[in-house]
Chains A and B, each alone.
Chain A
Amino acid sequence: MQLFFRTLFKTRGEAIAFGAFIALILIILPITLPIFRLNLIGKYLTFGFVAIGLVLLWGRCGVLSLGQGVFFGLGGYCMAMFLKLEASDPVTTAIQSTPGIPDFMDWNQLTELPAFWEPFKSLPFTIAAIFVVPAVVAFIIGWALFKRRVGGVYFAIITQAIALILSLGIDGNQGLTGGRNGITDLRTLLGWDIRSEHAQYVLYFISCSLLFIVALGAKYIINTRLGRVLVAIRDREDRVRFSGYDVATIRAFIFAFAAMISGLGGALFVLQVGFMSPSIIGIVPSIEMVIFTAVGGRLSVLGAILGCLIVNFGKTTFSEAYPDLWLYLMGGTFIAVVMFFPNGLAGLLEKIPFRKTKLAAVAEKLRQPTSDEPETLATTPTSSTPSSNEH
């Protein structure tokens, strides 16, 4: 257990920060905020799934994707299709020419449900699809590109193009997808009204708990050998390749993993917001998700989640206070962060020397009496630098 714990957190300070964050999200905010605001926090945190993916993919592996909205969207659309089918029972849609199909299909003269919608009547299939569809799409794209050694800025441009293609594709097939309006007016999940206050509390806790699980999973990956290979690929791709690692497959795998958790975030977004539209998939939101990560800190899982929270909270607060000026305030904040803290807010915290030494000292003290555990497998052969990782 302790071994596992140490794999997750390099220092005790990190563990305390993570614990404090969990307490903030799961205890303090639900007590202090009204449900409307809490629901907004829940919405911001669904972008945290994308941000965690970007920490692995961009911060650790050096692959910048400007199309993560695609995977967020795919997960979201899977969820929305299930909810829409449930909301379109023949009784509530009796006014339509063809009752029993989603309203936008009826507006577009469809008279029967398209075949690819059929399986989304099943919740188990939908949940599987939320994970599998983004992961498979990402793996195919990633494998095709990385095998050809497409990387860096070219990869970023291609992912951006994919975001554009998908949002245009959804726009252009409104009979099948709801088009620009998206899939709206989602009501119940297996008869459970997701719009009620009670449901919003429950969904908030589910969503945040899943976020923490995913965050711990990401930290685990970062601190295992795979995590070190990722950093190695980022810093010296050719050396890793010459050492016998299959760089393309590792990258494709991490791209698919990031896509999968983004898809989960998208599904939780739909449950909490109540609709899905292509405006969450396209280029602008995809770049925004990169900004969240950059502001928080692309190297730190916790930093990236905080980035989502802070940027979106700023967006809401600024735009409520200054509906005509808020974009300038946001833009100014981004410029300031990039200029003064290139590693984001998490990087800023690491720079404070007092904090580092004090925490390190405390960690050292706390660790000594408990380090009777044999130190064999806790460290991997590659961890040669004494300052980082486990001692």
Chain B
Amino acid sequence: MKIKQLSHLFLKVACLAAATATVQAKPPTSEVNTTGLQVTDDTVTVGQLHSSTGTMAISETGSIQAEQLAIDQINAAGGVLGRQIKVIKEDGASDWPTFAEKAKKLLVNDKVGTVFGCWTSASRKAVLPIFEKENGMLYYPTFYEGLEQSKNVIYTGQEATQQILAGLDWIAKEKKAKTYYLVGSDYIWPRTSMKIARKHIENVLKGKVVGEEFYALGHTQFGSLINKIKLKKPDVIYAAVVGGSNVSFYKQLAAAGITGSKQTLLTISVTEDEVLGIGGENLAGFYSAMKYFQSIDTPENAAFVKAFKDKYGADSVIGDVTQAGYLGPWLWKAAVEKAGSFDIDKIAAASPDIELAAPEGPVKIHPNHHLWSKLRIGQWQKDGQAKVLYESELIEPDPFPKGYQ
């Protein structure tokens, strides 16, 4: 009897010890969260801030889906520091003051551990002062104009030079191009990109820019531009037209007989997402310079594409920004685990040199909080997918490029 009781007690102690051991495998909340973020013993709450409504919703949906997929996968694999990720989703509604309002709500009211969000430069510019003042962390997925660097932002897309220089080098060499016609939508990203492109064409490639035009966002009449292009006969049309204008631009080019078989066109603003709207037949033969295409043939990308299609349907496509959005939660998880803490300052300090085997290939966070990434040239096919013709080495991010400002 006594022995039985004793053994019972022993069992109890053993159980308790085992229980303590499992708890200790997960660091206590007081240690990993010293700044009052919304972290409990079992969960960590993060924010997601994109436009679900308004003109940008069509572009941002891919990022929303990819971030959600990454979060689901991380949760299924045990979460971050043993904590499941909970998401508070907010709608920026394609309106910059709303982005600012929601960013503040997520940081001040909800005290989220990090935010995945924004798409346009304008929305990022609207929330940046709030992230810096409230000391939040933002994972921003879009390729953008550079000229920015913040402790409170990790830029998972390319800054302008990463997307432009290697692409122009390739087209100059492959197509023996001498004359370029630059076309863009009228806001800071195309303006900055074209400035960098022009300097590179004139100073490095010794080519000539025969025309440079910018059109208001939403512009749909490109007749006069097409006439000018026919007159100047540039070797390359270099395009950064975005949003709804894209569809009109390429359809009108095709209608005017400027097609991939007769004209070289390199764009930095068309991904698989845009092709859905423009139609593969209107783009066939034109080139895009991106870091990611859905057709990249690696095991990491195959697994990503399959998981994405399983979740969102076989018809869904994955563009450059969607993939960059997918990196956000994974890079945050890596930073938190490297820092052993959810504290923003510690994540920011731990982020440089984190590496990840991403669908686009290996990436690494630079001390300037941008990613080292490759540049690829894809040629669009009728089915809306790109054939990857060229792949650069990893390019160092340089948001403040000397000689290009």
Q: Which residue of A lies closest to B405 (CB)?
A: A97
Q: Is the CB of A36 within 8 A of B97?
A: no
Closest chain A CB from B381 CB (angstroms): 33
Set of chain B residues within 8 Å of A316, measured between Cβ atoms: 101
A sample of 16 more A-B contacts (CB under 8 A), given A187-B129, A195-B133, A273-B97, is A34-B109, A36-B108, A39-B104, A107-B147, A107-B188, A107-B192, A171-B216, A181-B122, A181-B125, A184-B126, A185-B129, A274-B130, A275-B97, A279-B97, A323-B89, A324-B53
Q: Is the CB of A182 within 8 A of B125?
A: yes
Cα of A187 to Cα of B125 in the assembled complex, Å: 14
Q: Is the CB of B101 within 8 A of A182?
A: no
Which chain B residues have a beta carbon within 8 Å of chain A's beta carbons?
A: 52-53, 89-91, 93, 95-98, 100-102, 104-105, 108-109, 121-122, 125-126, 128-130, 133, 145, 147, 186-188, 191-192, 195, 214, 216-217, 400, 405
Q: How many residues of A contact B (CB 8 A)?
A: 38
Closest chain A CB from B43 CB (angstroms): 19
Q: Which residue of A lies closest to B94 (CB)?
A: A279
Set of chain A residues within 8 Å of B121, measured between Cβ atoms: 180-181
Query: B interface, by DSSP: helix, strand, loop or mixed?
Result: helix
Q: Is the CB of B90 within 8 A of A275?
A: no
Give A96-122 as 1s and 0s: 1 = Cβ < 8 Å from B's Cβ atoms.
010000001001110000000000000
Is A40 among interface residues, defined by CB-CB distance under 8 A?
A: yes
Q: Is the CB of B128 within 8 A of A40?
A: no
Q: Known: A171-B217, A326-B91. Contact between A275 and B186, CB under 8 A?
A: no
Closest chain A CB from B244 CB (angstroms): 15
Q: Which 3 A-B pairs have the closest CB atoms?
A: A323-B91, A180-B187, A181-B122
Cα of A179 to Cα of B96 in the assembled complex, Å: 13
Q: Is the CB of B188 within 8 A of A180?
A: yes
Query: A interface, by DSSP: helix, strand, loop or mixed?
Result: helix
Q: Known: A319-B91, A320-B90. Contact between A181 and B187, CB under 8 A?
A: yes
Set of chain A residues within 8 Å of B97, measured between Cβ atoms: 43, 273, 275, 277, 279-280
Q: Is the CB of A180 within 8 A of B217?
A: yes
Q: Known: A97-B405, A107-B188. Contact between A168 and B129, CB under 8 A?
A: no
Q: Which residue of A lies closest to B124 (CB)?
A: A181
Cα of A185 to Cα of B97 in the assembled complex, Å: 13
Give A312-344 as 1s and 0s: 1 = Cβ < 8 Å from B's Cβ atoms.
000010011001101100000000000000000
Q: Which residue of A lies closest to B50 (CB)?
A: A323
Set of chain B residues within 8 Å of A326, measured between Cβ atoms: 53, 91
What are 25 A-B residue pairs whose CB atoms fall within 8 Å in the complex? A34-B109, A36-B109, A43-B97, A95-B400, A172-B186, A174-B186, A174-B187, A174-B188, A179-B187, A180-B188, A181-B96, A181-B121, A181-B126, A181-B187, A182-B122, A184-B129, A195-B129, A274-B100, A274-B129, A275-B125, A316-B101, A319-B98, A320-B105, A323-B91, A327-B93
